[in-house]
Structure 1
């Protein structure tokens, strides 16, 4: 049923058990960070639910559902997605955001379709992707369906932000939590299934922080460049306390042509600072960037554990200020002034 899907062993066992005892809930809620496999598992459950042969992939139904995929974000502005859409199997429907929101018409269409008897299988399955993007009307329409669930249909909600769903929707679904995938599993998958070199697979697994989706789509050249720049920031802060160099790095992070670089660079900086803190405290086996241990060790020796801890605190506080829309340039300048004086 879940062949080829890595990680999330507990969720996998729980879902398998539901099928073993014949008690797949009418409504499931798949939650967890982006890219950890929620959508792939939703498709796996779908395949098993409608397959008369046990979801092994050998029957014609499985072959068709194997080609069923959730559309990428850059395609979700098509008129097809204003309502429930179907791929190669009429018992498998999908609802996704149209542009920014899931529209009430799509949920009303789902409600209507869910009450139809299956065409080929014994049940019908509907996946609502990015379920947190339902507008108020759509959420209330879905609630009506969940309160009186059709006997021959199952609904799977997929979201990385379950707190944005109505509490009444959460209470009427059975939640299955998905977590980050272990770095070694991500590395093995990339090298074995995606053709990554061992070095690239290791680096992508480090950068992805447990997200298979992020690891697969990662621009490794850009990541290496950002990490090198952020390593330079810590080196300048530790060895020279060079405020001019640090402010220059802040300018680079806020380059108007690459505004999307700020948050990824801050993420990398925090990971590196935590590694320095661990090494300065005498640890070694738990760092996130083991491939540059020597460089991090030099910074740790120069900075010491106290300064490294202050860097981490400063980054965390910068994130808090950014959450209230502080100007990124002001945030970066303030952060690096603290780095220079730490």
Structure 2
């Protein structure tokens, strides 16, 4: 577990949680909503650790900016090693979180007073997997919790939860993290080169967990390599060669959206360079020479048509339009706008 200072972004949520600790106005139920990899678990862990910290309990918290776990007391050490008796994670073996999971691990357990802390904190990750029966069982505890009970629900889909659950929780929405913060974090903590950190950050769209995954994934690096090879030589290839090339690199159809997004970033670079003539603004900085060549050959209208065709391909694939036909139409647009 990490303290608030180790979390990138989410300043408003952190300030809300710190204020709750500082004033003692802590809700019995919080709902952290954000996509997978956005930082829900880090926020929940930091909040739980701070709530149980012995230094904070003794009032040694300083001003609002310094409300954080000390990291050295027995409680913090237990929390950091995921071995705190009063911070409980709800687990489940099936695809869903069932009523028995909630009854046994939470409803029954919460009746027992904390072992060594002022609170018993229950963290339910993937709360969208709660069955309706499990949610109704949980609702009874949320409505009448013991004074020491705190429940943290983490979800990527608020619509999966009952309105009665939502109405009784303090809901905190995780927003995309600032790109500069993410790039700096990747470079400092993971020693990722600047160009790679920037591409991963843009591709992750404000999701730090996803950016970390992309920046360190051999599979993503190979995907990027294959896409760039196709795009560099696409103007000199026959349509059947392009289609064969794309089929090879998108054999896993679940990844085809990632391939298309990488291609969109390429043509946005081409368009940006055509407008600004500034290589420092490019995402694919290391491919400056090839981007420059394509920017000189293509018209503004042609590049915009290509990007629009790719966005349309994503819409068609989402609507389950024939895969091969969708790809062929997209690639045909690229070829038709190759030398305007």
Q: Does 1:60 align with 2:57?
A: no
2:155 corresponding residue in structure 1: 159
Q: CA shift at 1:288, angstroms? A: 4.0
1:92 corresponding residue in structure 2: 87
Where structure 2 has 5 or more consecutive residues not aligned to the other structure, the ranges are 57-68
Q: CA shift at 1:9, angstroms? A: 1.7
**Contact 2:226 2:249 (C-alpha < 8 Å) held by counterparts:** no
Cα distance in 1 for residues equivalent to 2:287 and 2:164: 48
**Contact 1:30 1:158 (C-alpha < 8 Å) held by counterparts:** yes
- Comparing 323-332 with 11-20, greater Cα deviation is found at 323-332
Q: Secondary structure at the match of 1:7?
A: coil
- Tell me the alpha carbon deviations over residues 55-85 of structure 1, each in whole angstroms, 9 at most, x when there is no partner: 21121000010112xxxxxxxxxxxxxxxxx
Q: Secondary structure at the match of 1:3?
A: helix
Alpha-carbon distance change, 303 to 101 in structure 1, aligned in 2, over 3 angstroms: farther
- Tell me the alpha carbon deviations over residues 203-241 of structure 1, each in whole angstroms, 9 at most, x when there is no partner: 54444433332233334443333223333444455x458
Q: Secondary structure at the match of 2:114?
A: coil
Aligned residues: 320
2:35 corresponding residue in structure 1: 33
**Contact 2:53 2:75 (C-alpha < 8 Å) held by counterparts:** yes
**Contact 1:27 1:156 (C-alpha < 8 Å) held by counterparts:** yes
Q: CA shift at 1:129, angstroms? A: 0.6
Query: What is the TM-score of this pair, normalised by structure 2?
Result: 0.82
2:221 corresponding residue in structure 1: 224
2:186 corresponding residue in structure 1: 190
In our comparison, the structure showing a higher alpha carbon Rg is 2
Alpha-carbon distance change, 200 to 231 in structure 1, aligned in 2, over 3 angstroms: closer
Q: CA shift at 1:154, angstroms? A: 1.0
Where structure 1 has 5 or more consecutive residues not aligned to the other structure, the ranges are 69-87
1:150 corresponding residue in structure 2: 146
Alpha-carbon distance change, 62 to 338 in structure 1, aligned in 2, over 3 angstroms: same
Q: CA shift at 1:306, angstroms? A: 1.9
1:122 corresponding residue in structure 2: 118
Query: What is the TM-score of this pair, normalised by structure 1?
Result: 0.82
Cα distance in 2 for residues equivalent to 1:315 and 1:308: 11
Cα distance in 2 for residues equivalent to 1:91 and 1:214: 30
- The counterpart of 1:17, out of the listed 16, 19, 23, is 19
Cα distance in 2 for residues equivalent to 1:90 and 1:149: 19
- Tell me the alpha carbon deviations over residues 122-149 of structure 1, each in whole angstroms, 9 at most, x when there is no partner: 1111111111112222223223333333
**Contact 1:97 1:129 (C-alpha < 8 Å) held by counterparts:** no
- Comparing 211-220 with 279-288, greater Cα deviation is found at 279-288
Alpha-carbon distance change, 168 to 336 in structure 1, aligned in 2, over 3 angstroms: farther
Cα distance in 2 for residues equivalent to 1:161 and 1:245: 41
Q: CA shift at 1:33, angstroms? A: 2.6
Cα distance in 2 for residues equivalent to 1:283 and 1:152: 61
**Contact 1:132 1:159 (C-alpha < 8 Å) held by counterparts:** yes
- The counterpart of 2:206, out of the listed 198, 201, 210, is 210
The alignment yields a C-alpha RMSD, in angstroms, of 2.7
Cα distance in 2 for residues equivalent to 1:114 and 1:327: 52
Alpha-carbon distance change, 330 to 144 in structure 1, aligned in 2, over 3 angstroms: farther
Q: Secondary structure at the match of 2:299?
A: helix
